[in-house]
Amino acid sequence: MASDKQVTFVIVGGGIAGVTCAEQIASQFASDEVCLLTASPLVKTVTNFKQVSKTLEEFDIEEQPSSVLEEKYPNLKVIQSAVNLLRAEEHLLQAENGQTFHYKKLCICSGARPKLLYQDNPHVLGIRDTDSAQEFQKRLSKAKRIVVIGNGGIALELVYEVEGCEVIWAIKDKAIGNTFFDAGAAQFLIPSLEAEKKERSLPCKRARYTTDKTGAGQSGATGELGSALGPDWHQGIELKGTEQNSSGVHIEYECEVSQIYTQQEFLRSQLDTEKSELGLWPAYVQLTNGTIYGCDFVVSATGVVPNTDPFLSGNHFELAGDHGLRVDDHMRTSEQDVYAAGDVCTAGWEPSALWQQMRLWTQARQMGWYAARCMAADVLEEPIELDFCFELFSHITKFFNYKVVLLGKFNAQGLGQDHELLVRCTKGQEYVKVVLTGGRMVGAVLIGETDLEETFENLILNQMDLSRYGEELLNPNIDIEDYFD
């Protein structure tokens, strides 16, 4: 039966942003009821949180049943039902199960979904949550060749992890991993793609994502609303095609998909190509450079779109260019008492010169935590300043089995010509790049076990003039830590 509930704090979304926000607010307001509404049956919790340096953090993620959260915070109630209506002016939210909630403060953390190149095409798959990763695995186990489109983190991990299946990787840039790397770093990583799997085991520390066996893989009632996967999403999922040997990755640079054909469409088409030479495949992909590949299916890893749909109708949210809910430096949307955090939102404040938003795990946690503190400060009528974590962009991850640390304007984002790069590279071991502007360090890419992250983070944060050190800065024979201590 439908019911109506008055709650001080309502949070929507059981991903890392929503859960972090709910935990923080529930512990700070122990005598107020907090409701977490989520479409997915499991919630994501952060464990083993470790502050590696001033801004770098590492943690594990666990998918857990909501009862674990409720036991930990007696005032926190988790309701598994997707929100389908918001009337912001009335401070009213309605869930699919018929329940309505009158809130004082609401935080929307509904994440994002894959931006699919072709909607509703059975030959095109996006990877976002446990469900879609398992669907991918199932289809891959019967595949000989797949086409991967996109050049971000997901595509990078995917092409590296797939075994026993030929991968055609179409990217629109001149180098792989354009979101994270420059051409030099890409060049450093390419040999890893060609190496056999057994040679690919360098020791590496990184955030680990674990999946609870009991209920993983079920998505919410609406089918598409599971939480986003995160680091190591492929751990425990065998990504293997039908071929015995690793069939390699072929990269098609600077091109996009112009058309995807089903087998029938392809055979009937007037395309000027020797059809029989391409063999018989379930689908055919035509690239903008004219090449056509037959394949079993296509993986579209071309970014995400914020999940804002259920919240927009009848309200006046200001949306950013990427369709995220625009938030100010207190994580407030343009609707009164509605906050947003994680992948669903877009930072609308004037960012620090060394920070940029990227829809990443770490930022989802930081935003969820900071949004809770902002809601609390608002209720208590206390002032609050933008958190220090938004001062410097920092991210630890792993690509192709190498530890990767990204700091500040690691790709000289927004610097135009006004910068200088210093690079040190030892094939198969490490790639170090620093970005300098006016003699000061503003960004760095560290691949491998460089042990430089803390020193470089300090140099970026203190903006020391490094002009007189020149290239010595990356001299491997100098212990740079001693240098600046």
Q: Which stretch binds ligand FAD (CB under 6 A): 224-232, 239-247, 285-293, 421-429?
A: 224-232
- Is the distance from CB of 345 to CB of 306 less than 8 angstroms? yes
Q: Which stretch binds ligand FAD (CB under 6 A): 219-227, 254-262, 381-389, 456-464?
A: 219-227
Q: Considering the rule CB under 6 A, would residue 364 count as an interface residue with ligand FAD?
A: yes
Please identify which residue in the block is written with the tokens 């991850």.
397
How do beta strands 430-437 and 420-426 pair? antiparallel
Nearer to ligand FAD, 221 or 423 (CB): 221
Nearer to ligand FAD, 286 or 346 (CB): 346
Nearer to ligand FAD, 8 or 394 (CB): 394
Nearest distance in Å: CB 259, ligand FAD:
26
Q: Considering the rule CB under 6 A, would residue 38 count as an interface residue with ligand FAD?
A: yes
Query: Binding pattern to ligand FAD, positions 342-361, x when CB under 6 A?
Result: xx---------------xxx
Q: Considering the rule CB under 6 A, would residue 228 count as an interface residue with ligand FAD?
A: yes
Nearer to ligand FAD, 63 or 294 (CB): 63
Among positions 39, 406, 446, 452, the unique one binding ligand FAD when judged by CB under 6 A? 39
Among positions 177, 231, 294, 408, the unique one binding ligand FAD when judged by CB under 6 A? 231
- Is the distance from CB of 283 to CB of 294 less than 8 angstroms? yes
CA distance 276 to 292: 12
- For 474, residues 6+ apart whose C-beta sits below 8 A from its C-beta are 422, 423, 424, 432, 434
Q: Considering the rule CB under 6 A, would residue 220 count as an interface residue with ligand FAD?
A: yes
Q: Considering the rule CB under 6 A, would residue 217 count as an interface residue with ligand FAD?
A: no
- For 337, residues 6+ apart whose C-beta sits below 8 A from its C-beta are 88, 91, 103, 104, 105, 106
Q: Where are the beta strands (DSSP E) in 76-133?
A: 76-80, 83-87, 92-95, 100-108, 112-114, 124-125
How do beta strands 325-327 and 345-347 pair? parallel
* Number of residues near ligand FAD (by CB under 6 A): 39
Nearer to ligand FAD, 18 or 294 (CB): 18
Q: Considering the rule CB under 6 A, would residue 80 count as an interface residue with ligand FAD?
A: no
Q: Would you report the helix, strand and coil content of the chain in percent, each value rounded to 5?
A: 25, 30, 45
Nearest distance in Å: CB 70, ligand FAD:
16
Nearest distance in Å: CB 168, ligand FAD:
19
Q: Considering the rule CB under 6 A, would residue 86 count as an interface residue with ligand FAD?
A: no
Q: Considering the rule CB under 6 A, would residue 146 count as an interface residue with ligand FAD?
A: no
- Is the distance from CB of 345 to CB of 325 less than 8 angstroms? yes
- Is the distance from CB of 241 to CB of 101 less than 8 angstroms? no
Q: Considering the rule CB under 6 A, would residue 37 count as an interface residue with ligand FAD?
A: yes
Nearest distance in Å: CB 240, ligand FAD:
17
CA distance 148 to 125: 10
- 195, two tokens: 């190496």
Nearer to ligand FAD, 300 or 307 (CB): 307
Amino acid at 209: Y
Instruction: Tell me the residue length of the chain.
Output: 485
Task: Compute how many other C-beta atoms are within 10 angstroms of the C-beta atom of residue 77.
Answer: 19
Residues that bind ligand FAD (CB under 6 A): 12-18, 37-40, 82-83, 109-111, 127-128, 153-154, 220, 225-231, 233, 307, 310, 342-343, 359-362, 364, 397
